[in-house]
Structure 1
């Protein structure tokens, strides 16, 4: 399955190059608000809140349109923050306060088929690949607990149905749903406990999830250039 996702990503990249070479094409830019729901492999409650939330401006994208097909590149998440939290779970299961530094990055490349239902309404269906990276550094304020570093890297294969309503010849409203069909994920967690050997401070695992419940709902405005 990993090879299939890699192959699909390469095919999308090749398609993007081909689209870019064609002369009869148009470009679209879009901005979206939406709801995110991810099963996040992270120790921080704050990170879970951020990843599973509603945001006013959640993503932006650029599309290359050729007839009834379009390729879309989307900056889905880009977040770097440092804050204090009163809800960091420790090894005993209770909650400590402390500092949390997080970095999140997620992009999406999708290939889509578009069909005009009427002069005002378009529907589309697409498949996309979404690589992502999440890094989290936790420094508990409790001196009896230890700093933790967590990273999660992976990619998902997404199904994307869309609905568009043309308000003018150039401006349109779009709503779409992103459903994760397959997600590959690799986690690494390090607890900086000097009492145990360095090798034993780090745990790693890899997972493959099919229809794991990850989804995004998007509402936005697009402009045809």
Structure 2
């Protein structure tokens, strides 16, 4: 069973050692094994939460349907729509009766003492977890999305922050045949600066490996 902590409008639970947002449905799902069992025409479940930090930051994340969630900032004076988060249903795959335990996670990603929000928007059988990272900006007392401008995306591949090296480490997995990559970014004031990337193309008989280094915010192919 899902453990719901606090009132139904402010739900979190610890799942596998991680703090996750949970949601309460008005109507029990027809199929607890699939998001298609949720009666979306009758549901708009929302989870309000407060991120711990020097100054608490308040937000809510509402499930619009099986592929869109709405992020709203509560700045103390009014509710401000921030953005829509698009996913493929992975964040709401765990359904228990009228409760959902999501893959929207509260954690101190960058180890600065302030809680951040990680949204795993997709996954696959190879273990990839494609993630959107929202960092707690205490100067603005709001969340800011961490962008990967070098690859022109806001999606991170299995991201992990190493507090010793101050680097964001990411890795994209493939099967026996596919494209694999690992890359690092340096985090500077909520900006991600590209450092190093290695790509391995396993689609041919002979693997093709390319190395890149970050230069002026872009990837530059490393010469042999």
Q: Structure 2-normalised TM-score? A: 0.31
Larger radius of gyration: 1
**TM-score, structure 1 length as denominator?**
0.31
Higher strand share goes to which structure? 1
Higher relative contact order (CA 8 A, sep 6+): 1
Structure with the largest fraction of helix: 1
